[in-house]
Structure 1
Amino acid sequence: MMESQQPVKPGLMRRFLLATSEIFSKKWPRLFFLAVTFQSAICIAFEAYTFGRFQGGLADMNQPNWISNLAVQAELKTIPTFLCLFLLGFLYELVLVWDALQAKNTIQIIGLCIANVALLIYTAIQIEQIREAIGNLSGAGAFTDGGVWRDVRPVLICVPCILAAITIAMSLIAWRLYQEFAWDILKYIGADYRMKKRFLYYQVYIALLKFDFFFFIGFTVQFLVVVTGKSDIEIGLTAAAIPVTIGILFFAAYFTRHEIKLGMISIMVLYLGGLSYFIFKLARIYDPYHAQDYMPVRKSLTAFTVLTILLIILTIINGLICMFNFGKGLKQHLQTSHRQDADKDTVSYSLNDVKQTPLPSRMTID
């Protein structure tokens, strides 16, 4: 008798390809992903052109008089920092879009539309900040080409316009996705209104954690690269906070999914610490004794700080609601749906990839 073989669990790449093919097999998920991809490609290209034009118009900045000028050095880092943030922002948004579509998470999709509005505001702010940076550097004699601002201004104006158009398209498609994915929530959670509400708060909380990560990283990059007047201790602590924050967000999701109350309480304490830190930083940006250090990225850093504070407050509120929902049955639904997804991937892998041996066309006698 032949022993039944256990189905082989697909690897990460196989599961990624299966999820991606499922996204592209349906109209509205495909359109949503392509819209964000188009936006990312165009906006990154425009930002890259701005960076190239900016760098190409500069004089030789390796001269000792430029190197020793801290104000000029801070202004020089403005546009590279913006480009870095846009690369991070658009690529991270693409990852979140893929994640939301494969998980059929309508809450995260709505969050992505809101995040696109935040990026739109940021791109509008950068126009004035880049104009100021180019103006200050021109006044200091750092440019050999006086037409840099004239060339990059139309490109910079196009970026928020593109973001506005794509945000509208994303919002319209998100409504269709909401209708399309509604059945999946019903399938996993059932028709119980209270359970669906608990699941909604859980989805909101997990989505907030993902957006918290980006805005914290965005703030940290600007602070470490552009802001002057930092002590070595402050730089070290800020840099060390990046892996710590990733760990906090990971465990926040883990504790919520597995309903570990003590872990959630410790996470809440850390949230309050983070909230205090960003409130302190916001006050320091406008402190007369330190305002000059933040001047090159004052507006954008303010935007990131305010958004991060709002996100942390929302995260704390949703985290508390999720914690109060512990022990009310959601954990079983989450773990069941997770196992079903894994089983579905395994079955699709085994059925598609197992080669069938042809049956003999006639009986044979040995």
Structure 2
Amino acid sequence: MEAHKSNSITPSLSETHQDDASSNFFQYANISPERNKEYDLQDTTESYIAESETSQSPYIRGARVFMAISIVSALLLLAFEIYIYAVINLHKDKLGSNPRYTELSTFLALFIFASVFQMLLSYIGLRSKNLLLLTMLCVFYCCMLVYTGIQYQEISRFVNEVLHGAWKRATKGVNITAIAVIGITLVVQTYMIFGVLRKHVQWIRYKKIGANLKTRQLYLVYQIHRSLLMLDFFFFLGFTVQFIVIMVQDKSSVEFILTVIVLPITILLLIFCDFAITRELAWAAVVAIVILACGCAYVLFKTIRLYTKYTSAYHLGFKPGSYFPGRKSLVTFGVLTLVLLFATMTLELYLICNFHSGLKNVLIDSYSRIPWGKSTAREDESREESLEID
């Protein structure tokens, strides 16, 4: 009888473990055991949302500062480059040769485009929380520094030959200040990426993706793919704009018209390439690879023409294929565009081979504001739910 009483009073081993587990759970959730019965699923959801918003608030503050630095830097560079461009136009008659004026104008136009493009990179990188794209932005700043150094040499030659007095001092000062602005922006934003934004992005990404190594690897490849698409956009458009400005003198020719039409189509095609990957549309991704291959063929054809007899058709050289102002910049952009397009094709093919591996669930919010993008996402979700039920 006493044994029976002791057994009824003393809790069993399983009950002890359950009590320990429940107390550990409520300690982890910051909820006292006395509130066990008051614990509600709605309270849990609200606390999780509040925690998520709190964890993102430091990132939002850092992102705003980062974007503000990009905007201020871009506006300063735009002001400097517009000033130099205005000075060149005011003293255009002293340059002596039209190709020389065209080369300097193209040089400055590309730099203005780069200033606007770095704001676009900053916005997309911060909005998508793509640290890799922001890191590529820092590499882009390094390229701008090199480009500014080349610009300083070219403009200094123009300044020494044409300008005098206050014009000469002001133009040299603006050139040096532009280099300083890019250098300061590079240092400050590099610190912000690795010292401020990185830890918050890693935590947000972990909550979004989880600990699955395969999904994390695919997400990293996807971020590289999207970053390459952004660089494809800049270098392809830069190459095309230089080609029509320097090479095609007849603005009413068929080649000029077709090249201008290519520019807006390029933007749509690059967006199409990214959309095909985010929605794991195999047929669209294959079409995207074909488009990228056509882009490689186009750039290669245009680059080869710079060294062949067809150069004489533009009346730029005394002999077919001889050097003309701006060819070095054109070839540089052409080679970089080819390398980037080939790398993009490789990653596109890799992602196609890894469709239906969990990446689509991570990217379900991409293009959700577009009507057909939202419907496609819903169809994917319903299809996955039906498969789970089956």
* Displacement of 1:159: 2.5
Take 1:180 and 1:223, find their aligned partners in 2: how far apart are those partners?
43
SS in 2 for 1:279: helix
Q: Which amino acid aligns with 1:272?
A: A
> Retained in 1: the 8 A contact 2:235–2:333?
yes
Q: Which range is displaced more, 97-106 or 160-169?
A: 160-169
Deviations 1:160-196 (A, max 9, x none): 3432332232222211322220112111111101101
Q: Which range is displaced more, 327-336 or 125-134?
A: 125-134
CA distance change for structure 1 residues 299 and 125 in 2, over 3 Å: closer, same or farther? farther
Matched, 1:242 2:241: no
Matches within 5 A, 1:82-231: 82-130=107-155, 151-175=170-194, 176-228=196-248
Which of 319, 322, 325 in structure 1 is aligned with 2:348? 319
CA distance change for structure 1 residues 215 and 196 in 2, over 3 Å: closer, same or farther? same
Q: What is the match of residue 11 of structure 1?
A: none
Deviations 1:189-238 (A, max 9, x none): 11101101111111211222122112211122222223355692321221
Q: TM-score, normalised by structure 1?
A: 0.72
> Retained in 2: the 8 A contact 1:23–1:29?
no
Take 2:221 and 2:259, find their aligned partners in 1: how far apart are those partners?
31
Which segments of 5 or more consecutive residues in structure 1 lack a partner in the other structure? 1-21, 67-71, 341-366
SS in 1 for 2:324: helix
CA distance change for structure 1 residues 248 and 155 in 2, over 3 Å: closer, same or farther? same
Q: Which range is displaced more, 120-129 or 284-293?
A: 284-293
CA distance change for structure 1 residues 58 and 242 in 2, over 3 Å: closer, same or farther? closer
* Displacement of 1:45: 1.8
Which of 59, 73, 98 in structure 2 is aligned with 1:39? 73
Which of 264, 268, 272 in structure 1 is aligned with 2:289? 268
* Displacement of 1:286: 3.9
Take 1:204 and 1:190, find their aligned partners in 2: how far apart are those partners?
19
Take 2:242 and 2:117, find their aligned partners in 1: how far apart are those partners?
17
* Displacement of 1:132: 5.8
Q: What is the match of residue 297 of structure 1?
A: 326
Q: What is the match of residue 8 of structure 1?
A: none
Greater CA radius of gyration, 1 or 2?
2
SS in 2 for 1:191: coil
CA distance change for structure 1 residues 236 and 285 in 2, over 3 Å: closer, same or farther? same
CA distance change for structure 1 residues 154 and 146 in 2, over 3 Å: closer, same or farther? same
Take 2:292 and 2:212, find their aligned partners in 1: how far apart are those partners?
32
SS in 1 for 2:355: coil
> Retained in 2: the 8 A contact 1:78–1:133?
no
Q: What is the match of residue 339 of structure 2?
A: 310
Q: Which amino acid aligns with 1:259?
A: E
CA distance change for structure 1 residues 283 and 150 in 2, over 3 Å: closer, same or farther? farther
Matched, 1:80 2:130: no
CA distance change for structure 1 residues 170 and 287 in 2, over 3 Å: closer, same or farther? farther
CA distance change for structure 1 residues 24 and 190 in 2, over 3 Å: closer, same or farther? closer
Take 2:59 and 2:281, find their aligned partners in 1: how far apart are those partners?
38
> Retained in 2: the 8 A contact 1:46–1:155?
yes
* Displacement of 1:107: 1.8
> Retained in 1: the 8 A contact 2:275–2:367?
no
SS in 2 for 1:335: coil
Which of 296, 300, 304 in structure 2 is aligned with 1:279? 300
Matched, 1:50 2:84: yes
* Displacement of 1:315: 0.9
> Retained in 2: the 8 A contact 1:219–1:301?
yes
Q: Which amino acid aligns with 1:238?
A: T
Q: Which amino acid aligns with 1:172?
A: Y
Matches within 5 A, 1:322-361: 322-335=351-364
Deviations 1:104-136 (A, max 9, x none): 12121112112222222222233344456678x
Which segments of 5 or more consecutive residues in structure 2 lack a partner in the other structure? 1-55, 318-322, 370-390
Take 1:120 and 1:284, find their aligned partners in 2: how far apart are those partners?
29
Take 2:157 and 2:324, find their aligned partners in 1: how far apart are those partners?
10
* Displacement of 1:305: 1.8
Take 1:329 and 1:164, find their aligned partners in 2: how far apart are those partners?
40
> Retained in 2: the 8 A contact 1:189–1:333?
yes
CA distance change for structure 1 residues 220 and 338 in 2, over 3 Å: closer, same or farther? closer
Please, what is the CA RMSD of the aligned residues? 3.2
> Retained in 2: the 8 A contact 1:188–1:337?
no
Q: What is the match of residue 353 of structure 1?
A: none
Higher relative contact order (CA 8 A, sep 6+): 1
> Retained in 2: the 8 A contact 1:74–1:228?
no
